[in-house]
Structure 1
C-alpha cells in the first residue's frame, strides 16, 4: 500500500481512535504502581500519540504531497532502472508505461488523452531521468495525424516528485479541461523534477566537473522528445514552466536559451541559485558562472532576446515579491514580461493551483504549433 493511499490513511485513523478508546477504557486497570501497570500506561500513551501523529502527518501529506512514496519519505530512490532503446533511429526515450486521466472518457486516449511514463537519456549531458509526458486527446485523433503540437517542460520544486505535477497540481487535467473549453490550444506537457542527479540539488546549473543539468533541460530533453513525439522543434513551439526551484530553472533556461524556448513561467520563483548543503559547490569558484545564474544580473548584462516571461508572487505570504518586482522592471524589449500578483498566498500547492490555469493560458498564447 502506497504512502498516499486512502487505505493507509484510514488504517492510521482507525488505529488512533481504537488506541485512544483503549487508553480510556484500560486506564483504571493500569492505575497501580507495579512495573506492569506503569509499563502498560507508557505503552498505551506512546502508541496513541504515535497513531495520532501518523494520522495527522498522512492527512497533511495527502493534501500537499510532500512525499509521493515510502521510499521518498525515507530518502531512498525507488525509480526503476532506465531502459534506453538505441535501436530505433537513435531515439533517446523509452516509454515505460501509460496511464489514463481521471476525466470523462479517460479510458480512450482520443477522448481523454494519455500520460506516458518515460525514461530519458541525455545525449550531451549523459544524464538519465524519468519523466511523464501528457498527450492531449487531439494527439490520437486522425484529423491531427500530421500536426506537430506545441510542447512545454513542467518542473516541480526541490526535492519534489514528478507525480506531484499530476496528482496535486493537476497539470494534465487542467490542460485537458481548458483545451476542451477552448481556453488553450492542445499542448504536450513533459513533466519531471529538476533533481535529475539525486539527491543533489543542482539548480539546473552546468556544474564544472559535475552534472550538466542546464544542458539536459535546454538541449537534450527537447531534442529527445521531438525525436519521439509529434512536437515542433523551433523555439516558437516550446515553453517551460515550474514552481519554486522549478520556477527559477524555467526562467533561467528561457532567459539563456531563447533559441530553444519562446516562453518561460516561474511560479513563486527565486532569482539567484542558492548554495548550501543540498547543492554543494555549484560554480567551483568561477565568478562568471555565479553571475550568470543570477537572473537579475543576467537581465542587466545580457542582450535582450525575443522571449516572454511570466512571474508570480503574492503581496502577502511570498518571500519573493521584492525580487519579482525587480525582475519585471529589468526586462527590456524585445523581451516581454507578464505577472500574476495575488493579494495573499503562501509558498505552497494551494497558491500554485490558483496560478496554474492562467499561467497555462498565458503559455498557450505564446506558443505555436508546427
Structure 2
C-alpha cells in the first residue's frame, strides 16, 4: 500500500470513526474498569486522529514514500527504451495517447560519484517523430521529497505539454533525478558531502554523461539548463553558478541563497552561498530566473539579495506572486513562465 495513496487515508479515517463510535457506545459501561476503558478509548482516538493528520500531511509533501532512490543498474549497452516501467505507467499511457509525450524511468549509473540513482525523463512528442537533438532542462526536487512531486503534485507533464503545444516553449527533454540516496532523512542540497554522498558530482557529471549517451539531446552548454523548487531551487541556482561551463540558465522557484546544512568543507557561508559568490567571485555569463511569493519573508529576502548582487555578464529576471507562501500551488503557477523563460535562454532543437 502506498504511503501517499488514498486507501491509506481512507483507512485512517475509518479508524477515527470506529474509535469515536466505540467511545460513545462504551462510555457508561465497564463497571470498575470504566475509567481505564475510557482512557484507552481516548488514547485510541488521539492516535487515530494523529495518524490521519500525518497521512494527509505526507500526501501533500510526499516526505515519506515507499519508492527507493536506488534501483539495479541495467546491463551495459541497454537502451532507455528497456528501462524500468514508470510507476505511473497507466496514467502516463493515457496522457501519451493524447499528447505524444512520455515519462521514462531509468537508473543512472554513477561512474564517477559512485551513486546509482533513479531518474525520470520527460520526452516531448517531437522526440518520437523526428531525429533532432533536443535541449535539456534538469529539474531538482525539494527536501523532503522525490522527483515524483514534480510528476504528481506539480503535474509537470501536463504543464510541459501545454507550453510546448502553445509554442511558448521549444520541445525539450526534461530530467527529474533524485538528489539524495535517502530522500526522507538525508538532505544533500546537491553538494558533495564530506564523508557522504557526492551528489554534486552525480548531478553535474554522471547525469549529463548518461543522458548524452542514451538520448538524442544537445551536448553543448547552450542546450542545458536547470530548474528547481524549494531546496531544488537553491540547487539549480548554485549548480549553475558553480558549473557555468555546463549550464547556460537556471530557474529558481522559492529558493534560499544558502544550503542550510553542514556540507563538511567549511564553505557553507562562502563558496556554497549564492550571494557570497556573486559578491566575491567573478560572475559567470549565466541567466537566472528567480521567483517567489511575497508573503514568504525569508525566501523573498534571499531572492531580492540575489537580484541586487547580480552584475553583467550574469543576468537575473524576477517573478513575484503576492501570496501563496511555500506551496505547491505557488510552484504550479510558476511552472509555465519559468519553463518558457528557460526555453528562450537555451538553444533550440538541432537537426
User: Is TM-score (shorter-chain normalized) higher than 0.5?
Assistant: yes
- Residues 107 and 184 of structure 1: is their aligned pair in 2 closer, same or farther, counting only changes over 3 Å? closer
Match status 1:233 vs 2:219: yes
- Residues 237 and 3 of structure 1: is their aligned pair in 2 closer, same or farther, counting only changes over 3 Å? same
Deviation at 1:140, TM superposition (A): 1.6
Deviation at 1:93, TM superposition (A): 11
Mapped to 2, the partners of 1:95 and 1:224 lie a distance apart of 13
Mapped to 2, the partners of 1:357 and 1:335 lie a distance apart of 23
* Contact 1:101 1:112 (C-alpha < 8 Å) held by counterparts: no
| Equivalent residue for 1:83, pick from 73, 79, 83 | 73
Q: How many matched pairs? A: 347
Mapped to 2, the partners of 1:211 and 1:61 lie a distance apart of 25
Q: Which runs of 5+ in 2 are unaligned?
A: none
Mapped to 1, the partners of 2:294 and 2:49 lie a distance apart of 36
Match status 1:140 vs 2:125: no
The aligned counterpart of 2:264 is 282
The aligned counterpart of 1:65 is 61
* Contact 1:101 1:113 (C-alpha < 8 Å) held by counterparts: no
Mapped to 2, the partners of 1:20 and 1:240 lie a distance apart of 50
* Contact 1:93 1:118 (C-alpha < 8 Å) held by counterparts: no
1:143-175 deviations in whole A, cap 9, x for unaligned? x2x111111111111231121111112222211
Deviation at 1:125, TM superposition (A): 2.0
Mapped to 2, the partners of 1:148 and 1:83 lie a distance apart of 25
Deviation at 1:342, TM superposition (A): 1.7
1:96-117 deviations in whole A, cap 9, x for unaligned? 2234474795253x83422111
Aligned-residue Cα RMSD (Å) equals: 2.6
Match status 1:162 vs 2:150: no
Match status 1:295 vs 2:274: yes
The aligned counterpart of 1:326 is 305
Mapped to 2, the partners of 1:2 and 1:211 lie a distance apart of 27
Mapped to 2, the partners of 1:10 and 1:192 lie a distance apart of 31
The aligned counterpart of 2:162 is 177
Normalising by structure 1, we get a TM-score of 0.85
Q: Which runs of 5+ in 1 are unaligned?
A: 73-77
The aligned counterpart of 1:95 is 83
Mapped to 2, the partners of 1:82 and 1:93 lie a distance apart of 16
Normalising by structure 2, we get a TM-score of 0.89
| Equivalent residue for 2:43, pick from 41, 46, 56 | 46
- Residues 5 and 273 of structure 1: is their aligned pair in 2 closer, same or farther, counting only changes over 3 Å? closer
| Equivalent residue for 2:247, pick from 254, 261, 269 | 261
* Contact 1:194 1:245 (C-alpha < 8 Å) held by counterparts: no
Structure 2 counterparts to residues 344-363 of structure 1, below 5 A:
344-363=323-342
Deviation at 1:329, TM superposition (A): 1.5
Q: Which has the higher contact order (CA 8 A, sep 6+)?
A: 2
Mapped to 2, the partners of 1:39 and 1:359 lie a distance apart of 58
